[in-house]
Amino acid sequence: MPKLNVRLATGVEPREGGRYTITAVEEVTTAVRGYKGLRVSMKNATDKNDTETYTTMLWLRETAGLRSKLGAFIAAFTKFLGDEEKALDPENWIGHTIYVVSWQERNREIRVVE
């Protein structure tokens, strides 16, 4: 059997207390079950030596809890943009910097800082 030549990703999810600039938001659909989501890609906004690309998946659903990943992004951008319609368009997130207040399961909170 061949030896795997794979490197496990580290630090992929954003961390509490971190500031990240959103570089891309892509729609994705899983191959097997057809789940739809958004892949949010970010760069560290405070440590320019950190070349890691941080990503998180926001699974799309009709109702999102305020403390879910998706809910945290929508709530933060609604407050920042002052318009829920604009916040519901992920294209409006690109280029903005977020601060991760809490990134625990079922207790997600971010703030848009610029």
Q: Tokens representing 11? A: 């630090």
Rounded Cα–Cα distance for residues 99 and 81 (Å): 15
Give the residue-averaged pLDDT of 70-90. 96
| pLDDT the model gives residue 73 | 97
Q: Please state, in angstroms and rounded to a whole number, the distance separating the CA atoms of residues 76 and 110.
A: 6
Residue 48: count of CB within 10 angstroms of its CB: 8
Query: Tens digits of per-residue pLDDT, 3-50?
Result: 777 766 655 899 999 999 999 999 999 888 889 999 999 999 999 899
Residue 94 pLDDT > 80: yes
Cα torsion angle, 42, 79, 60, 104, sign = positive
Nearest CA to 111 out of 11, 44, 16, 12 is that of: 16
- Threshold 0.75, pTM exceeds: yes
With a pLDDT cut of 90, the percent of the chain lying above it is 81
Average pLDDT score over the chain: 92
How much is the pLDDT for 7? 66
How is 34-95 classified by DSSP, letter by letter? Answer: --EEEEEEEEESS-TT--PEEEEEEE--SS--TTSHHHHHHHHHHHHHS-HHHHT-GGGGTT
At residue 3, the pLDDT reads 76
Residue 8 confidence (pLDDT): 64
